[in-house]
Amino acid sequence: MHCGLQHSQFSTSVLLYCKGRSQPPKFGFLKCSPQSGLSSLDILKESCSILVLKLPSRSRNSRQHQGIRCEYPQNADLPRYYSRNEKKPFPVPILDLRRAARERQKKRLGQPRRPMPPPKVGLLVKDLIPVAYRVMNARITLINNLKRLLKVVPVNSCKWCNEIHVGAVGHPFKSCRGPQASIRRGLHDWGEAVVEDVMVPLECYHLYDRLGNRISHEERFSIPQIPAVVELCIQAGVDLPEYPTKRRRKPIIRIGKSEFIDADESDLPDPEPEEPKPPILTEMPDTDVLPPSSDEETVLLAEETLQAWEKMRGGAKRLMKMYPVRVCGYCPEVHVGSSGHKAQNCGARKHQQRNGQHGWQAAVLDDLIPPRYVWHVPDVNQPLQRELRNFYGQAPAVVEICIQAGAAVPEQYKPTMRLDVGIPNTVAEAEMVV
């Protein structure tokens, strides 16, 4: 990002204009007061990543150049919103996948065949079993803490679309895409939100045998559906009595590309008693939810919630590298397994041409755990203004709730929140920014 600076001797504000990405604002005010003793250069050192400053000196021909670097960028683009009329792109383009496959095939010529990794032969990765339990408990901790934080932090949800806003009053932006949005001119109809609005309840089919046959269209009602993160933890080694799964002690025997038989385990000795696994937490009933008793407890609860959020996402990312997860390119349907199910329940664009079948592709972390970006409120005592929309940033809903509850802003979310872009006090001041 390349930025320029315009400064005057008689002004107390700095007009910052940037050339680079288009989604974050290309402009903003960085204010400095003479009484504070800080110059505009000192403020920019704390806010910008790479700046090329041209400060006018007294002499007409001499100019001072100085470069400033920081660990995180000043602004970053949000994930692109894909409408129902377009397909999500592949995480890795098809041409790159084919090129990498050809290179691997060339390197394998004349070399002995490598054994397949444990997930593909039906065994568990022992190093990832503790990770699966941590992700499971982090998810339950996150849900229980959010139920308590929603008692003190107001969160509004639109009654017609899936947009939410963290604040006492919903934002005034005309961005509703729900039914009859044209009649309301895009305005939202706000109501009280629940935990399911903050954490999207994505469910998938539970597989008794993750290497078994694909689920057919006729079996779609006979197989239970559970949260996708829970299914990923079960396949990675978490044992839940209510959702049994098949565990193998010997690798499978491949007889074809998609055909295999189970190895004979009768000659194996009885399994040794395993070490006690960590206990699994339980969700708190809604009737037992109590708000924090003090402000200090609220801050500690918000910090614990942020840690659980990062632990769940970080652990799920590790599990997805070994246990594949699929997502439909046209709808949010998720399937934990090497290949998606055959249920013809996709209702996205052009589903008639696909006979209702999903367009499965490799999933990313945001497909499994959607972050649900919301507008960041710089001052909780003042509502957002429609005319200053380009100056506001966004953050995941869980992060915004914790920040308004008193937690510190995580470093990785600062670029999308646009904390370094000053917000004008009036609309007339915003119109001066060109």
> What pTM was estimated for this model as a whole?
0.79
Summarize pLDDT for 167-215 with one digit per residue, the tens. 999 999 998 988 888 898 999 999 999 999 999 889 999 999 999 889 9
**H or E element at residue 326:** strand 325-328
User: What span, in angstroms and rounded, lies between the C-alpha atoms of 240 and 190?
Assistant: 38
The reply to whether 80 falls in a domain is no
Give 292-318 pLDDT, tens digit per residue: 989 999 999 999 999 999 999 999 999
Give the domain extent around 47: 2-75+418-431
37 and 121 fall within a common domain: no
Is the domain of 164 the same as that of 202? yes
Residue 258 lies inside a defined structural domain of this protein? yes
Residue 316 and residue 391 in one domain: yes
Q: Are residues 244 and 229 in the same domain?
A: yes
| 297 and 217 within one domain | yes
Q: Are residues 56 and 126 in the same domain?
A: no
Average pLDDT, the chain: 82
If asked whether residues 17 and 141 sit together in one domain, one would say: no
Same domain, 63 and 130: no
Q: What is the pLDDT of residues 235-250, one digit of tens each?
A: 999 999 999 999 988 8
Number of folded domains that form the chain:
2
Same-domain status, 148 and 180: yes
Range 426-431 average pLDDT: 78
Is 381 among the domain residues?
A: yes
CA atoms within 13 Å, Cβ hemisphere of 428? 0
In a domain? residue 39: yes
Neighbours of 109 (CB within 10 A): 6
Mean pLDDT of 356-376: 92
- Same domain for 61 and 118? no
In a domain, 86, yes or no: no
Is 198 in the same domain as 50? Answer: no
Helix 397-404 / helix 129-149 crossing angle, nearest 10 deg: 50
**Co-location of 401 and 423 in the same domain:** no
pLDDT tens column, 402-421: 999 999 999 889 888 888 77
Residue 231, C-beta contacts closer than 8 angstroms, at least 6 positions apart: 204, 205, 206, 207, 336
